[in-house]
Structure 1
Amino acid sequence: MEPALQTGLVLLTLLQVKHLFADFFLQTPRMLADRAVYLHFGRAEHAFLHGVLSFVALVLVGAPLVFSVVIGLVEWVVHFHIDWIKGRYSEQALHTPADASYWRAFGADQLAHQLTYIVIIWCWGLYAF
């Protein structure tokens, strides 16, 4: 297997594990509250955690430091907005976990995050490998 492919798969694995922890194990009540409010410190904190952990994943696979910082900051902003869009949509629609539409919004949110990781790996392949 080509080294670039191996490293890309390791990076994808690291990003998946980081997503599991940042989205499901490390969220605090403040991060989960008021998801439809745009300027919300909890969401900023949650998205920042994602950015920091993506930075760590990139550094672990040997990506250049400046590249890793830029990607971490971009992910912070992108993650913040993906979560805000889902939160705003779900609150306006009054979705609860009992509604199928809640789970469709949740799935779309998770897909958007996963596509972000594909873009990160693509950028890593173009600019950092």
Structure 2
Amino acid sequence: MTAALQTALVLIALLLVKHLFADFLFQTQRMLSGRDEYVHVGRAQHAAIHGAFSFGVFVVLGAPLVFSLVICLAETVLHYHIDWAKGRHAARCQHSPTDAGYWRAFGFDQFLHQLTYVAMVWAWAFYTL
């Protein structure tokens, strides 16, 4: 296995661990309320935590600082909008955790976040190798 492939796999693993903490363990009530509002301080804080933690992951693995900053700012903006779209959908549909629609939306939201990490690793490989 090449060093680049090993680093890519470690990068994906660290981004997934980061996701667990930022998306589930570090959520506050402010971040969870008002999910359907477009301008929302709590969602901005939540997305910023994602971007900051991802920045740490890229820097620890030796990615260039400018690249790390740009890719993580893009992730922050994308994460904000994915979560807003899910919140808006949930408000319109009035789904609760007992409804299948809630879990479909939750699963699609998580799928989009995971695709974001695949794109980030692809960008890392394209621009830094």
TM-score tier by shorter-chain length is: over 0.9
Aligned to 1:89: 89
CA distance in 1, matches of 2:128, 2:66: 10
Listed as ranges, the matches of 1:102-113 within 5 Å are 102-113=102-113
CA distance in 1, matches of 2:113, 2:50: 10
Structure 1, residues 35-66: CA drift from partner, whole Å, max 9, x if none?
Answer: 00000000000000000011011011110000
Aligned to 1:79: 79
Aligned to 1:128: 128
Structure 1 unaligned runs (5+)?
none
Structure 1, residues 52-98: CA drift from partner, whole Å, max 9, x if none?
Answer: 01101101111000000101110110000000000000111001001
- TM-align CA RMSD: 0.5
Aligned to 1:23: 23
- Runs (4+) of structure 1 exceeding 3 A deviation are none
Structure 2 unaligned runs (5+)?
none
CA distance in 2, matches of 1:118, 1:72: 13
Kindly provide the amino acid, as one letter, of the partner of residue 25 in structure 1: L
Query: How far is the alpha carbon of 1:27 from its aligned partner?
Result: 0.5
Kindly provide the amino acid, as one letter, of the partner of residue 122 in structure 2: W
Query: How far is the alpha carbon of 1:105 from its aligned partner?
Result: 0.0
CA distance in 1, matches of 2:81, 2:105: 14
Kindly provide the amino acid, as one letter, of the partner of residue 94 in structure 1: Q
Q: Does 1:62 align with 2:62?
A: yes
Percent identity of the aligned residues?
59
